[in-house]
Structure 1
Amino acid sequence: MTSAADGDPGSDPRTADPDYDRHGGFPNFQPAQPGPGFGRFLAAMRRVQDLAVSADPDAATWDRAAELAEELAGLLEPFEAAEGVGPANRVPSLPGAGSLLMPPYRVRKFEPDEVVLEVAFSRFSVGGNYAVHGGVLPLLFDSVFGMVIHAAGRPISRTAFLHVDYRRVTPIDTTLTARGWVRETDGRKAFVNAELLDPEGNLLAEANGLMIRLLAGQP
């Protein structure tokens, strides 16, 4: 095995691996520029998600909300596109890279030795007693692992396993810090770590996992 510090992590991985962009048959998605309306749309949708799990209006208001949601779905349905065509998850300047699947994180550091995000969970992610649902954190950590692999210059990889240890309750409406790094590598294998910290530096949860580089043709 080698440590994450071995080699030259700052070099272009395509120099050593001309097929870097084609491992596993993944397309090389490019950033999207959908215009300011998309950012406004995402912000409104995130608020709707929060309200969908917290609002308690009368029956008539639910009926009206359903009508508006159905109208919105009808507006967008003709434009449904394939992965990598729509802007979701392809706008790095927006929280969560423009994906409603992800909590609204922002990348603060993206280097070969470490990836650092700021993230704040909201009411939509509550599991109970105003704490973030435990199942949401593996989603965050898995995304951090993918960023770590990319920042370290390793080819497209899939998660072989992901283990999470919960140390404290994760709060909502609080700016948290997520960190991830490659611990060591062994051929196609990259062993990765991540942690989630509160503003005082307390450890809320930590994760370790194995990312395996895909072979040609692997989905």
Structure 2
Amino acid sequence: MTDQVDDDLDSAAVTGSSAVGRRGGFPKLRMQAADTGPDFGPFIEAMRTLQDLAVSVDAPDEVYGAALSHAQAMIDLLDPYRAPEGESPAGRVLDLPGRGSLLMVPWQVEYFGPDLVRSRGSFRRYHVGGNNAVHGGVIPLLFDEMFGFTSFMAKRSVSRTGYLHVNYRKVTPIDTPLVVESRVDRIEGRKTFVVAELRDEDGTLLADAEGLMIKLLPGQP
């Protein structure tokens, strides 16, 4: 992630009476990199591995019981530290795959500019829909994340997804390096039309998408 990207994200901090008009009904959160210690990244990666295991293991019931005890211990350990949206680091650690959010696919943005957003990564066992292929519902999540980035880098104020159309061209495999690129196609008033393509390292098109991002009006959530 470049310093320019950090500066652009920092510039999204909105204060003053004009904030509602520029951000709709969104709270005045400061969209900047979270300040985390060295253990947060490995913690998120361990949690991703647990997600992979949760959908792939076939263990004796006593193993599930022991794992449940460990999981409950983790819940008890972490629960006192719940933080409001915008204060927890998940989703705000720009140097981690998926920005450190378990909801996002664990991809890393490598180029982030007004003309193009590019991200690289691979899908994991957790994302399987069947026969080692990525679940069809996960791919739109990747595209939607890219569309949000792309709209933001095009200097559009906070927007919501109006629609997202995906064309599945080929089966998308797990555990395979892939790249996705997204760009603004055109702008019409409050509407930002965005397009994206998902390819493997050989350039084979796996899926493409088009979407509509709509700038929020004052007070819109």
TM-score (norm 1): 0.89
Tell me how large the CA RMSD over aligned residues is: 1.7
1:31, 1:84 → 2: CA distance? 11
Superposition deviation, residue 70 in structure 1: 0.7
Per-residue CA shift, 1:153-173, capped at 9, x if unaligned? 111111000000000000101
Per-residue CA shift, 1:122-179, capped at 9, x if unaligned? 0000000000000001111000000001111111111000000000000101110011
Contact 1:96 1:104 survives alignment (8 Å): yes
Task: Write the letter of the residue equivalent to 1:23.
Answer: R
**1:36 aligns to what SS in structure 2?**
coil
Match of 1:79 in 2: 81
| Structure 2, gaps ≥5 residues long | 1-10
| Structure 1, gaps ≥5 residues long | 1-11
Per-residue CA shift, 1:76-123, capped at 9, x if unaligned? 011111101110000001110000001111011111111000021000
Identify the match of residue 138 of structure 1 among 122, 137, 140: 140
Match of 2:59 in 1: 57
Identify the match of residue 49 of structure 2 among 44, 47, 50: 47
Say yes or no: does 1:210 pair with 2:203: no
1:201, 1:178 → 2: CA distance? 11
2:197, 2:38 → 1: CA distance? 33
Contact 2:21 2:219 survives alignment (8 Å): no
Match of 2:114 in 1: 112
1:144-163 → structure 2 map (5 Å cutoff): 144-163=146-165
Identify the match of residue 126 of structure 1 among 107, 125, 128: 128
Distance 1:176-1:20 versus aligned 2 partners, 3 A rule: farther
- Tell me the number of residue pairs that the alignment of Structure 1 and Structure 2 aligns: 205
Quick one: percent identity of the two aligned structures?
Answer: 52
Task: Write the letter of the residue equivalent to 1:141.
Answer: F
Per-residue CA shift, 1:49-87, capped at 9, x if unaligned? 000000112111111001001110111011111101110
1:4-43 → structure 2 map (5 Å cutoff): 19=19, 22-26=22-26, 27=28, 28-43=30-45
Superposition deviation, residue 25 in structure 1: 3.1
TM-score (norm 2): 0.89
Distance 1:204-1:151 versus aligned 2 partners, 3 A rule: same
Superposition deviation, residue 21 in structure 1: 8.7
